[in-house]
Amino acid sequence: MFVTILRWAIGVVAALLAVAAVFGFVISIAFENEIWRRRTRRLRSWLGVVALAWFNGEVWGRVVYTLVHWAG
């Protein structure tokens, strides 16, 4: 149950970052605004961090689960 909540939370954060990055990209292209272009790059970087954190949590969660249930 706890893992499901974490997966949904990270999914929502990733989706919000992706929407914000696309919005910033559209604004930066439409108005040729360098400030929005930098913000979009920063949001895209944070999206990568969230994706890597999710992957790391999935892998290490499975490792911990296996170790706990090894002798089971």
Given pLDDT bands bounded at 50, 70 and 90, which one contains residue 72?
low
SS (HEC) of 9-24: HHHHHHHHHHHHHHHH
pTM for the whole structure: 0.79
The per-residue pLDDT for 59 is 92
CB of 5 closer than 8 Å to CB of 31: no
The per-residue pLDDT for 26 is 95
**Per-residue pLDDT reduced to its tens digit, 21-66:** 999 999 999 999 999 999 999 999 999 999 999 999 899 989 988 9
Mean pLDDT, rounded, for 3-18 = 91
